[in-house]
């Protein structure tokens, strides 16, 4: 006799339109140009996805100068500093930019504010490739980074009347509201997006977690340790009342001893985690419990992004 378990499956979860497009770009580039195709940085932050593409002939590197100039290179979904495509052009390389269009939109915003003479503040996580890419749209030192409400008090600006802010797309919606409020309180003239730049996928996945977290004895987020939006889902679950919320890369990471005696579990996945890994986690629960799956849908998504034209044209 196995114990009954209600498994709340959050929706939406897993792949977003930007991740889907980025993976398609690598696959289509391999079809068009053959292997090897180089990819600067993990195309999306998921080992399973990266390993699968590597098996098909993608070579993952961290810097452009690790790529031979006569092979195509793809830039990851997180975006790259302006200097990277510029260097690729200088080396006369074929490159395809898989930056998510919602990240590119932030790049354009930052450049427009800079052209209008405003100093930029970015709300984001230091060292994350998206933050590096967005800050790298402007000359060195032109973008100030704030990560927390406390950072706002310490930031030194040129002119408080000439400021604008952008945000990373994968932040915690609630934490960002607080940081934006602190910025607006200290710099009332600051210009920013209508809400913030957090994307629809990040927002919806956080909403879905909030909808189930307080009903869950435990909640598992399928995602990678370097995936910003996945880590935020764990934080959101804890804040929303689920004391045991953990990130797992796949079913083998689950700590079953910690789950002894649970009656309810929530399952979701970050935007770069494929559905096959979520199925694997659900199957692992089915093997140990008498599972009833209950899907809880916080939003419907029908966003799709086209791949760049170069991949839609014949070789």
194 annotated binding-site participant:
no
Distance, CA of 306 to chain centre: 18
Residue nearest to ligand SF4 (CB): 18
Beta bridge partners of 39: 60, 74
Which of 92, 130, 260, 275 is catalytic? The answer is 130
Indicate whether 23 belongs to the interface with ligand SF4 (CB under 6 A): no
18 binds ligand SF4 (CB under 6 A): yes
CB neighbours of residue 68 within 10 Å: 11
Q: Which is nearer to ligand SF4, 198 or 211 (CB)?
A: 198
Annotated binding residue 172: no
Nearer to ligand SF4 (CB atom), residue 157 or residue 177? 177
Q: Single out the segment in contact with ligand SF4 by CB under 6 A; choices: 1-9, 16-24, 56-64, 214-222.
A: 16-24
Q: Is 12 in the site for ligand SF4 (CB under 6 A)?
A: no
Name which of residues 204 to 263 contact ligand SF4 (CB under 6 A). 229
Q: Which is nearer to ligand SF4, 7 or 100 (CB)?
A: 100
114: how many CB neighbours lie within 10 A of its CB?
17
67 is in an annotated binding site: no
Measured from the CB atom, is 210 or 289 closer to ligand SF4? 210
b/e string for 266-296 if b means 16 or more Cβ within 10 A?
Answer: bbbbbbbbbeebbebbbebbeeebebeeeee
Contact between 37 and 29 (Cβ < 8 Å)? yes
Task: Name residues contacting ligand SF4, limited to 107-166 (CB under 6 A).
Answer: none
Single out the residue of 169, 206, 227, 264 in contact with ligand SF4 (rule: CB under 6 A): 169
Residue 28 vs 199, nearer CB to ligand SF4: 199
- Report the length, in residues, of the chain: 315
Helix then strand then coil, % of the chain, to nearest 5? 40, 20, 40
Element (H, E) at 167: strand 163-167
**76 marked ligand binding residue:** no
- Cβ–Cβ < 8 Å for 77, 100: yes
- 161 burial type by CB count under 10 A (0-12 exposed, 13-18 middle, 19+ buried): exposed
Q: Where are the alpha helices (DSSP H) in the chain?
A: 17-33, 47-55, 83-90, 101-115, 129-135, 149-154, 173-186, 200-213, 228-239, 275-286, 309-312
Site residues (CB under 6 A) for ligand SF4, limited to 61-80: 77
Q: Are 184 and 287 in contact (CB under 8 A)?
A: no
By CB under 6 A, is residue 271 in contact with ligand SF4?
yes
**For this structure, is 31 an active site residue?**
no
Q: By CB under 6 A, is residue 100 in contact with ligand SF4?
A: yes
Q: Which is nearer to ligand SF4, 237 or 271 (CB)?
A: 271
Distance of CA 292 to the CA centre of its chain: 30
Among the listed residues 102, 146, 152, 219, the single contact to ligand SF4 using CB under 6 A: 102
The neighbour count for residue 37, using CB atoms within 10 Å, is: 26
Instruction: Say how far apart CA 13 and CA 295 lie, in whole Å.
Output: 11
| 49 belongs to the binding site for ligand SF4 (CB under 6 A) | no
Q: Does 50 bind ligand SF4 (CB under 6 A)?
A: no
Annotated binding site: 16, 45, 78, 100, 128, 169, 199, 227-229, 272
Annotated binding site for isopentenyl diphosphate: 45, 78, 128, 227-229, 272
Annotated binding site for [4Fe-4S] cluster: 16, 100, 199
Q: Which residues are catalytic?
A: 130
User: Interface with ligand SF4 by CB under 6 A: which residues?
Assistant: 16-19, 77, 100, 102-103, 169-170, 199, 201-202, 229, 271
């Amino acid at each position: 006799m196995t114990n009954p378990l209600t498994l709340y499956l959050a929706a939406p979860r897993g792949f977003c339109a930007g991740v889907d497009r980025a993976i398609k770009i690598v696959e289509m580039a391999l079809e068009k140009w053959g292997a090897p195709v180089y990819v600067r940085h993990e195309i999306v932050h998921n080992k399973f996805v990266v390993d699968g593409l590597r098996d098909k002939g993608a070579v993952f590197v961290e810097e452009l100068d690790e790529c031979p100039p006569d092979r195509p290179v793809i830039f990851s979904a997180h975006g790259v500093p302006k200097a990277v495509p510029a260097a690729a052009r200088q080396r006369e390389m074929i490159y395809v930019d898989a930056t998510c269009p919602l990240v590119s939109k932030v790049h354009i915003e930052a450049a427009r504010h800079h052209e209008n003479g405003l100093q930029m503040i970015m709300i984001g996580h230091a060292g994350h490739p998206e933050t590096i890419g967005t800050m790298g749209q402007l000359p060195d030192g032109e973008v100030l980074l704030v990560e927390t409400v406390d950072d706002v008090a310490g930031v030194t600006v040129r002119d408080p009347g000439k400021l604008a802010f952008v945000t990373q797309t994968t932040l915690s919606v609630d934490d960002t509201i607080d940081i934006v409020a602190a910025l607006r309180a200290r710099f009332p003239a600051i210009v920013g997006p209508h809400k913030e730049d957090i994307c629809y996928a990040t927002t919806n996945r956080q909403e879905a977690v909030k909808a189930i977290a307080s009903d869950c004895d435990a909640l598992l987020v399928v995602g990678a340790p370097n995936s910003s939006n996945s880590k935020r889902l764990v934080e959101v679950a804890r804040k929303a009342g689920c004391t045991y919320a953990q990130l797992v890369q796949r079913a083998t990471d689950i700590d079953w001893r910690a789950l002894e005696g649970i009656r309810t579990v929530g399952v979701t996945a970050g935007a770069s985690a494929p559905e096959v890994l979520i199925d694997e986690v659900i199957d692992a629960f089915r093997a140990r419990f008498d599972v009833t799956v209950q899907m809880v849908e916080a939003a419907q998504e029908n966003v799709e992004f086209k791949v760049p034209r170069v991949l839609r044209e014949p070789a």
